[in-house]
Structure 1
């Protein structure tokens, strides 16, 4: 097990109607906030009015910036930075899912920086401080409500890149499972895939003697696998929605990665796909992960056997461990199909045209992943396996 420091400072406020408490939490950090959100669903659902009512009750002056898209754009981030600087904003409140939260984090970092915010994503500068961030979560998926990272897309070249710093962890996050009742099935399934991928990135490690976190990862995966079909069949099942929502947070708040070095190659490959084609992140991960597994499983067959047995209940064939490992990969792929996810690039209309470009761009700053280091040729092979 690796040495580690685990520090997660986000205050989690979980349960029904908890969004009405957001004003009490926000006012701790200031009286001028930027309310950041995506499309019209925040308003049509009534959530906007409840949040605004809570803020106004505390005497908070609210500035607004909507329009966040999936795979959030740096152009809107820059607009938000200017708005915050002009109005001396003291807190950014993100109301939405991972895209809105990631956009808020990038704005919060950019406000404290004199250069262009994209410098952080290119590695030209490092985040040192951020404006405080609060969250009202509406889509359980990215885990950005308590993570230290953000992912942003630059329309100039369609690069999708990540950066992070502990100051990016939101000060508080409100999680009300009821807010997820109206999510379309596809969006729910994308979120489920995203949180599973966050766990899988940590699970496939070369680190030995990580039994506790292995079991935590496996337990979280089994919980998601159990409740996914329930929420898709009965979207207003509160208990199932609550299990999924909390799983999404636990999947990416760094607890499951303590003492181990995760991989993250699949995420980096997916970023190239959704950066160019703008597909849902979860859908891209459902395509990439099984292909990555097929490409790398021989590196540590025993870990894949453990995964197959403990997560999917595949009986271990001691005479043919590869058979067991491949069965676990197949079960993963079949699960994604069962919840309505694509598992090939062809299904989302992606052909050969940009595969080489994606492999090149993905590795231009060095090899991807840690479980197995992936060079440009490896990434290209994985993309072809995913076709």
Structure 2
């Protein structure tokens, strides 16, 4: 196992009828801006419960955060924060809203030029507004980490940042609020969480058996409970297990002391930026090709994954590894998630070269756990996904 530091200060409040505790989490006399997306919280009772709990606070609202949160929208919120003298943010919704709020919290306090530089030039976040989260959609794990991904519509770029100043102070996790989600969003949540685990687990043996089994237990739970939640989002127990699995998939714990990949995410972000494909579905497009292309370097962990998660015990190491990739594709298909780029767009020709060129221009010389995947390798992986 490698050396590591683990820090996670987020207070989690999980379950039904918990929003009555919200006011106790926010310091008195704060001017609160509630940030949310398309308005589902107005229908499922979450909005009303928050307003009731915060009746002694000044609460303003901004709605309209997109599923892939846009820099341009976030900057409108920053303008509102400065005009209205907001000093506390509350993200209500899924990972996109929470991601946007993290960036907004940093951008509102940024004084070194264009806040886009936080993402494009990795400029350090020196200050951020305090914020909390109310999670109504399981998927990204953003409710318990300090990272965010933002899309700039003007340039078709999707980039990420992390800062120790952008952890939520608290996160309410509400499985019952997810009861009315469209099945497509539930499927996306299952795949997103699954791939978050895989990016930290599917590398090479690092003599970290506890971390491996943490990761495998999350994968097994997603395989068992994800289809139940997909079939019936109102199944509270299944949705609870899915939501907690998604949180645990990316709160930093399973990545402690082990090599990590993240190439699938880096490539997938480009597909979202270019075509607007749901984030989780870009991961399902790229992952099978990525694992097949890198079979030689990943075969030991792929075979272990195949045996422990999928019950594959027959065959050589390579055969188990290949079977594990196939079983993963079948799992995604069982959730009605397609795994080829041509399933989503007819304009896929030239995509691989475009992504490769963009990575070269950014100076991304090596991706993956070995930092050995070149833009040329990326081009081949994307071509395999057509």
Same fold (TM over 0.5): yes
1:265-292 deviation digits (Å, cap 9, x = unpaired):
0000000000111111111111111111
Q: Residues 140-182 of structure 1, C-alpha deviation per residue, up to 9 Å, x if partnerless?
A: 0010001110100011211000001121110000011101111
8 Å CA contact 2:351, 2:382 repeated in 1: no
- Other-structure match for 2:241: 243
Tell me, yes or no, if structure 1 residue 339 matches structure 2 residue 339: no
Aligned mates of 1:211, 1:78 — CA distance in 2: 44
Q: Which moved more, 1:350-359 or 1:219-228?
A: 350-359
8 Å contact kept, 2:204–2:300: no
Matches within 5 A, 1:1-387: 1-26=1-26, 28=27, 30-56=29-55, 59-114=56-111, 115-206=113-204, 208-317=206-315, 320-349=316-345, 350-363=347-360, 364-366=362-364, 367-371=366-370, 373-387=372-386
The answer to whether the Cα contact below 8 Å between 2:204 and 2:259 also exists between their aligned partners in 1 is: yes
Unaligned regions of 5+ residues in structure 2, if any?
A: none
Q: TM-score, normalised by structure 2?
A: 0.96
Question: Comparing 46-55 with 96-105, which one deviates more in the overlay?
Answer: 46-55
User: What is the SS of the residue equivalent to 1:257?
Assistant: coil
| Structure 1 runs (4+) greater than 4 angstroms displaced | none
Structure 1 spans left out of the alignment, 5+ residues: none
Q: Secondary structure at the match of 1:308?
A: helix
Counterparts of 1:190 and 1:365, CA distance in 2: 31
Alpha-carbon distance between aligned partners in 1 of 2:88 and 2:143, rounded to the nearest angstrom: 15
Deviation at 1:355, TM superposition (A): 2.6
Aligned partner of residue 373 in structure 1, secondary structure: coil
Deviation at 1:127, TM superposition (A): 1.4
- Say if 1:19 and 1:176, in contact at 8 Å, map to a contact too: no
Question: Would you say the 8 A contact 1:32–1:60 is kept in 2?
Answer: yes
Q: Distance in 2 between matches of 1:221 and 1:171?
A: 27
- Matched residue SS, 2:294: helix
**Which range moves more in the overlay, 237-246 or 347-356?**
347-356
Deviation sequence 1:192-220 (CA, Å, 0-9, x none): 10001110000023462111100100011
1:328-356: CA deviation from partner (whole Å, max 9, x where unpaired): 00000000000110100011115214331
Give the length in aligned residue pairs.
382
Residues 311 and 75 (structure 1), Cα distance of their counterparts in 2 relative to 1, 3 Å cut: same
